[in-house]
């Protein structure tokens, strides 16, 4: 009886091993979205969006569809490349990178949403796998700055050791500086007037 049980267990183990060997290798995709800059977005100032897909699995992925529909036409224009692409396959260990250029067309706060990807896992895959890219911080698009103004602000940041960083900061600094100058002129004028009154009083005393 013990011998029969041993043979039965051995048969089960061999069957399980054969089933594991027959199972098709699986694909495992990483999906990464990156912007060429995380701040300093301005109207009519283009930036790049890069979508990277990496197959870290041991199987191949097929019929990949990638869509980054985050750039609505009321805020942005796609001026280079396309925000959607497809791949027939991505072999195990391979990486594919896609880049396109976006131009903001108006001042706005914008939520940068993950891009979407769909693919079939393996030759005999019967279902489509969906996947999202990483999340990114919200984007602020400001009015376009002329190059002279931008250079002046950058020089000011260097001179103030990055204490004053924006045009609004310089305007506040200028207002405070103007108040300080006015106060200084007031005190100087008061001192001069006081001195003139003192000299005039001395002249009146001498005349007496």
- The whole-chain average pLDDT of the chain stands at 84
Q: Which residue has the higher pLDDT, 170 or 121?
A: 121
Query: What pLDDT shows up at residue 25?
Result: 78
Query: What pLDDT shows up at residue 122?
Result: 77
pLDDT band at 23 (very low <50, low <70, confident <90, very high): low
Q: Which residue has the higher pLDDT, 1 or 202?
A: 202
Q: Is it the case that residue 6 has pLDDT exceeding 60?
A: no
Locus of tokens 């001498």: 206
Q: Is it the case that residue 59 has pLDDT exceeding 80?
A: yes
DSSP for residue 170: H
Structure tokens at 102: 């976006």
Q: Is it the case that residue 170 has pLDDT exceeding 80?
A: no
Question: Measured between alpha carbons, how far is 109 from 90 in angstroms, rounded to an integer?
Answer: 36
Structure tokens at 147: 């190059």
Q: Is it the case that residue 147 has pLDDT exceeding 70?
A: no
Share of the chain above pLDDT 70, in %: 82
Task: Report which of 137, 133, 134, 132 is spatially closest to residue 109, judged by C-alpha positions.
Answer: 137
pLDDT band at 145 (very low <50, low <70, confident <90, very high): low
Task: Report which of 40, 95, 33 is spatially closest to residue 67, judged by C-alpha positions.
Answer: 33
Query: What pLDDT shows up at residue 21?
Result: 44
């Amino acid at each position: 009886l013990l011998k029969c049980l041993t043979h039965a267990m051995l048969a089960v183990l061999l069957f399980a091993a054969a089933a594991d060997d027959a199972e098709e290798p699986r694909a495992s995709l990483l999906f990464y979205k990156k912007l060429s800059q995380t701040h300093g977005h301005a109207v009519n100032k283009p930036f790049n969006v890069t979508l990277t897909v990496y197959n870290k699995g041991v199987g191949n992925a097929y019929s990949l569809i990638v869509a980054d529909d985050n750039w609505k036409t009321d805020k942005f224009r796609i001026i280079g490349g396309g925000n959607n692409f497809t791949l027939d396959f991505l072999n195990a260990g391979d990486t594919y990178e896609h880049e396109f250029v976006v131009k903001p067309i108006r001042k706005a706060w914008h939520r940068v949403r993950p891009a979407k990807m769909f693919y079939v896992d393996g030759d005999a895959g019967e279902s489509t796998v969906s996947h999202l890219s990483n999340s990114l911080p919200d984007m602020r698009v400001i009015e376009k700055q002329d190059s002279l103004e931008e250079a002046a602000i950058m020089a000011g940041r260097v001179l103030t050791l990055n204490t004053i960083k924006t045009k609004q900061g310089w305007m506040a600094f200028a207002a405070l500086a103007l108040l300080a100058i006015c106060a200084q002129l007031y005190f100087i004028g008061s001192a001069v007037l006081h001195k003139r009154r003192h000299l005039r009083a001395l002249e009146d005393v001498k005349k007496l």
